[in-house]
Chains A and B, each alone.
Chain A
Amino acid sequence: MAAHLSPPPDPQFVLRGTQSPVHALHFCRGAQAQGCPLLFSGSQDGLVHIWSLQTRRAVAALDGHGGQCVTWLQTLPQGHQLLSQGRDLKLCLWDLAEGRNTVVDSVRLESVGFCKSAILAGGQPRWTLAVPGKASDEVQILEMPSKTSVCTLKPEADAKPGMPMCLGLWQADSSPRPLLLAGYEDGSVALWDISERKMCSHVSCHEEPVMGLDFDPEKARGVSGSAGKALAVWSLDGRQALQVHGTHELTNAGVAEVAIRPDRRVLATAGWDHRVRVFHWRTMRPLAVLASHSAAVQCVAFAATGGLLAAGSKDQRISVWSLYPP
């Protein structure tokens, strides 16, 4: 019975029923999540499922992308408004308050790229949205909810980083200037100052296109994953210059998404090798390999509290794990 000395870790539960590969996951944040925690999933067939984590069942399915793959999901801080991005070149804003499931607004996207959008929202009614722009290498910044274009960020002509693949918006506590991190097709990561509309720093991290990135403003450190076999950890110095901190070799190539847990202690990657890998964020020590899917994992997400991790896969299942609860 030696084989059973340490059984492989199990997910806490698996959500079934999307009946289509899962491409995006997002835990509902904000006040609404307190009583009855919710998880959103976006799938290839264009549906957004709302899952109750209490009953572990789908509460509703939102159909707003005409059967085209949903690639990105995000809730606004109040928790009752959901953004979904689809391959139908539409970004929908859903009103979920009091059981309503209706599209209240939508943004027309100009590019068919793979790039997921990003938002920067605080308590104010106005918030910022970054979406892939009209030209293939552009990122467009919009002021929401008025949908007024703030600027378009286009790399200089000689840089040629290719398409943006993933975006991250944030604002340092000390400064009022919003910043944008973008991972590009050529494997590089760039930092943009939005108010000055200029690229502050640009660093090459991967050989392959960057598939996902996440940033820890407290440590001024970020991580990116690519189609290749490495994770790159980079940091930002006081002069807003990006520096590659180190790379971490993975067993198998291909990371679809990376996510740092809100308490910034753990990092998770969604692997094309069907596995979710968990690292200690400070030391980058590997902590666990979560194997329960039978196809590529395409997205990972952390709940704001409680240590829940969700992973969505091409095998149409969403596994939910309880990871070192704080």
Chain B
Amino acid sequence: MAVFDTPEEAFGVLRPVCVQLTKTQTVENVEHLQTQLQAVSDTALQELQQYILFPLRFTLKTPGPKRERLIQSVVECLTFVLSSTCVKEQELLQELFSELSACLYSPKSQKPAAVSEELKLAVIRGLSTLMHSAYGDIILTFYEPSILPRLGFAVSLLLALAEQEKSKQIKIAALKCLQVLLLQCDCQDHPRSLDELEQQQLGDLFASFLPGVSTALTRIITGDFKQGHSIVVSSLKIFYKTVSFIMADEQLKRISKVQAKPAVEHRVAELMVHREANWVKNTGDKLTILIKKIIECVSVHPHWKVRLELVGLVEELLLRCSQSLVESAGPLLKALVGLVNDESPEVQARCNKVLRHFADQQVVVGNKAFADILSESLHSLATSLPRLMNSEDDQGKFSTLSLLFGYLKLLGPKVNFVLNSVAHLQRLSKALIQVLELDVADIKIVEERRWNSDNLNASPKTATQPWNQMQRRYFRFFTDERIFLLLRQVCQLLGYYGNLYLLVDHFMELYHESVVYRKQAAMILNELVTGAAGLEVEDLHEKHIKTSPEELREIVTSILEEYTSQENWYLVTCMEAEEMGEELMMKESSLQAITSGAHTHQVTSFLAFSKPSPTICSMNSNIWQICIQLEGIGQFAYALGKDFRLLLMSALYPVLEKAGDQTLLISQVATSTMVDISHACGYGSLQHLINQNSDYLVNGISLNLRHLALHHHTPKVLEVMLRNSDASLLPLVADVVQDVLVTLDQFYDKRAASFVSVLHALLAALAQWFPDTGDLGQLQEQSLGEEGSHLHRRPVTLGNSTTAEDIEQFLLNYLKEKDVADGNVSDIDNEEEEQSVPPEVDENDIRPDVEPPLPVQIQIATDVMERCIHLLSDKNLQIRLKVLRTLGGKCGDFLRSRFCKDVLPKLAGSLVTQAPISARAGPVYSHTLAFKLQLAVLQGLGPLCETLDLGEGDLNKVADACLIYLSAKQPVKLQEAARSVFLHLMKVDPDSTWLLLNELHCPVQFTPPHPSLRPVRLRSAPEQQNPYLANVRLLLRELQ
């Protein structure tokens, strides 16, 4: 584009334009000049700089009113020239500076002139460009004392623009220009760094502006958040760059006590500042006020870039002005520490970098080491922490705790100085305990039960950190989830850096001290251990020696022992212990179970809550305590990793016991603890965990069976173990079964029920481990096949396209079948059937007379059955039912007759008499024993009918007794159970069940298959009032 390379050529072209402009000062002429200038090369332009500037400056200087538009174009043209050339003379620089500044100055007032925004912007840019175009050292000579008034004028002008203008563009430009004027520009055009003397001279000069600049900038910084983050960021930057330059310790220490006489006129000399000690002190005090204001406002600024710049401010001021701004050191550090846990990762990272830098450099602030200041701050924070936790809202708590977190992180191992002071440790722990108090008023927790004590089928979760699936909990003093997270991080840091023995001792003491502290203390202990393992902690202190794995294991062992001790592990969590249930069952009491305070022969005497009647709250609290301890065990496992295997011998049994707990929450948490343990110890699944540590479990089971009164859940653990074991454990199982049977023999009267379920599980396990290859399985298959054919036949007979022949054939078939059923079978048929009998039966029959010793599993089974026969006459209905289920599988005929004669009538009778009561009862009824009995009977009957293969008459009895429970008036759970009975009945005898159900309610009108047959009429009630409608429909759908 540059067409005119030589000054001569350029001059030829530019001369007329310049002359023209000098003569007639119009916008057009200025624009014409600028257009021409674009065709001139930079070197040529530099040569002709003064010549070209002349008409422009002339235009500006011409007295009289001028149009703004003209000034603007002149300034823009000037800026263009300056941007391509250098100003090589100090005089020119000063003159241009004055002339440009004057454009914005209204002579009458001290404020910026009321000119257009475009003009303001143009002038600001012009000034900026001018300062950048100063050649070499010219810029330094510019800053001589005599310039002070003019410079000060420009600075205040720019500050006013930055503060008061509406346009964001102008504000930013003004701030940028200010930065340039104060020689803090961060662009690449200032290559030379200043030497000490130059720095000092400039510092002296700028010191005059410091009050104005700092207060104005503070006003901008602490202004409305809505002004946009970039303005605040720029202001912050200018603030700390200026302050750190003027107040730099490096400069100040070289300043002599007596002011050298400046060679300037009196007026200027008055403006000059001498930065001696007093001045520094006073200025420092004033700046501290401003800095505090800034920190208070900016540390909570919603935009992360602003908070990031605050980190820069702290770093710069603490590094360069730690002596002069000694009063600000505290607030500055606090700001930094508060940002350590900032939500923005950038801020966090920067913060950590700065802090690490400080720690590495052993920065000294004032006369105190960095660490001492932190330590003092932590001391004072610890002192006020209980009060703050009490009075602050969630946001306040969060920032206070962030601060605490920051101090701990920074102090690292030195945190022990604070912890070793008993008073401070107590304050700290008091605050933590206080803020972690749980809200235990939620009734649902006590209420939710597990209904079936079946599998531990926890889905294998992939999480490796126990707290990812931590149970949501509610705190009394805060609701923000982040606070809980922060509290945990605080405790983890304490565990990581602090003296673990000291801390664990301290919190263990609190744990013992009162039930009010116990849950919180346990939570804290859990986190301390997690922290001590150092798995989650980002360490700023590389030299720190962690707690050794052996020590950690020792500590965990002692905590574990405490958690699982009798008085802390076996707490009252529900009203109905098994034995109580059994006793009251005889009385058929309904509401008593819930209101009764009399714990007849319960285990209360061993418990923390030995009050006669535990309240819902105390049970709730107990549930939480158990859960927290369970979670703790999971965390311990995580912390110790494979080392935790050595603790399995004491941990696995109690956890497994809780996995079978009736309270839903406890059993869920225990199951997830099991998952955590198997992850930590490197077992592929829960089943592996249980299977490979069965010896530990067996040890626990066998020892606890010796004290069954205390450990009445022991049979449950064995049950779970059996479900998760395989045949390889037969020797162990055989061993412990002996203990079980011996104990059962001692406790027939009291705890038979829980034992019967174990025996059931045992037989089921044996059956599974040693699958029966004999004829039984085949029989079942056959019966299944028959069912199928029954079910398939119906659509055919009911089909609409039936012909008379079909009906005839059906009738003939029917008669034939009836004949066979009555026993009139021809020989030929018989022979055919015999041939179809599988030959294995014969093999089975041919047995040597010598009886070999029974295999272990069969011996066990025989032992078990002997006990079961004994229990068949137990006076407790529930036990009889369970025994029947246990035996039902194998000893069909004998049992069938006993069942039909003795048991069934009673079961049916109790169902019939109880039905009207449950139909009328309210929602509380589901907590009564009567309800549970009904439920148990209904749930048990179905499988029994099927396994015992009952005859038609008995099936009808069962159906009749259960039919009433299909009524919608019954509690939902009972309806469900009744439906399950019918589902089983369908398998045994689909036809009669179908008929029975249709008689209750018939959803379809049956049209006879042939007009010669009469339509079927079923005596079902009309739809509107039929209470059976819903359940019958559900069941019939199953039948189709």
Contact = CB atoms under 8 A, between A and B. Distances in A.
B646 A14 contact: no
Contact of B695 (A10, A16, A54, A316): A16
Interface stretch (A1-9, A24-32, A201-209): A1-9
A1 B601 contact: yes
Interface stretch (B85-93, B105-113, B704-712): B704-712
A7 B707 contact: yes
A9 to B, nearest CB: 10
B695 A57 contact: yes
Nearest to B694: A16
B157 to A, nearest CB: 81
A7 B696 CA distance: 22
Contacts of B649: 13, 55-56
Nearest to A8: B706
A56 B695 contact: yes
A110 to B, nearest CB: 36
A305 interface: no
Interface stretch (B188-196, B320-328, B731-739, B874-882): B731-739
B732 A11 contact: no
A19 interface: yes
A60 to B, nearest CB: 16
Interface in B843-885: none
A13 B710 CA distance: 18
Contact of A56 (B699, B731, B732): B699
A294 interface: yes
B730 to A, nearest CB: 11
B169 interface: no
A180 B341 CA distance: 76
A17 interface: yes
B702 interface: yes
Interface residues of B, number: 20
B709 A14 contact: no
Contacts of A8: 706
A4 B732 CA distance: 29
Contacts of B116: none
Interface string A123-148: 00000000000000000000000000
Nearest to B732: A16
A316 B702 CA distance: 14
Contacts of A16: 695, 698-699, 731-732, 735
B695 A17 contact: yes
A4 B604 CA distance: 13
B601 A14 contact: no
Interface hub of B645, B646, B703, B710 (most chain A Cβ within 10 A): B703
A316 B735 contact: yes
A187 to B, nearest CB: 36
A129 to B, nearest CB: 36
Nearest to B739: A294
B803 interface: no
Contacts of A14: 699, 702-703
A39 to B, nearest CB: 15
Determine chain A's interface SS by DSSP, over half rule.
loop
Nearest to B698: A16
A56 B735 contact: no
Given A1-B605, A55-B646, A57-B695, A19 B731 contact: yes
Interface hub of B696, B702, B707 (most chain A Cβ within 10 A): B702
Interface size, A (range): 20 to 34
Given A13-B649, A16-B735, A19-B731, A1 B699 contact: no
B709 A54 contact: no
B703 A56 contact: no
A260 B441 CA distance: 58
Contacts of B702: 14
Contacts of A10: 703, 706-707
Contact of A13 (B699, B731, B738, B742): B699
A317 B698 CA distance: 12
Nearest to B735: A16
Interface string B740-761: 0010000000000000000000
B710 A4 contact: yes
Interface in B625-658: 645-646, 649
Interface in A98-156: none
Nearest to B709: A4
Contacts of B709: 1, 3-4
Contacts of A54: 646
Contacts of B699: 13-14, 16, 56
Given A4-B710, A17-B731, A56-B696, A294 B738 contact: yes
Contacts of B605: 1
Contacts of A13: 649, 699, 703
Contacts of B645: 55
A294 B695 CA distance: 19
Nearest to A4: B709
Contacts of B601: 1
A26 to B, nearest CB: 22
Contact of B703 (A4, A11, A17, A294): A11
Interface string A207-234: 0000000000000000000000000000
Interface in B704-722: 706-707, 709-710
B677 to A, nearest CB: 16
A217 to B, nearest CB: 37
Interface string A308-320: 0000000011000
Interface in A53-96: 54-57
A301 B707 CA distance: 26
Contacts of A56: 649, 695-696, 699
A243 B848 CA distance: 63
A3 B649 CA distance: 29
Nearest to B648: A55
Contacts of B706: 7-8, 10, 292
Nearest to A10: B703
A14 B738 CA distance: 14
Contacts of A57: 695
A3 B746 CA distance: 14
Contacts of B732: 16-17
A55 B738 CA distance: 24
Contacts of B703: 10-11, 13-14
B612 to A, nearest CB: 15
B136 to A, nearest CB: 77
A4 B710 CA distance: 9
A184 to B, nearest CB: 38
A291 to B, nearest CB: 9
A10 B699 CA distance: 11
A315 to B, nearest CB: 9
A292 B695 CA distance: 17
A7 B606 CA distance: 13
Contacts of A3: 709
B712 to A, nearest CB: 12
B695 to A, nearest CB: 6
Contacts of A294: 738, 742
Nearest to A56: B649
B503 to A, nearest CB: 27
Interface string B685-701: 00000000001101100
Q: Which 10 A-B pairs have the closest CB atoms?
A: A13-B699, A10-B703, A16-B735, A7-B707, A14-B699, A4-B709, A56-B649, A19-B731, A16-B732, A14-B702
26 contacts: A1-B605, A4-B707, A4-B710, A7-B706, A7-B707, A8-B706, A10-B707, A11-B703, A13-B699, A14-B699, A14-B702, A14-B703, A16-B731, A16-B732, A16-B735, A17-B695, A17-B732, A19-B731, A54-B646, A55-B649, A56-B649, A56-B696, A57-B695, A292-B706, A294-B742, A317-B735
Interface of B: 601, 605, 645-646, 649, 695-696, 698-699, 702-703, 706-707, 709-710, 731-732, 735, 738, 742
Given A11-B703, A19-B731, A57-B695, 11 more contacts: A1-B601, A1-B709, A7-B706, A8-B706, A10-B706, A13-B699, A14-B699, A14-B702, A56-B649, A56-B695, A316-B735
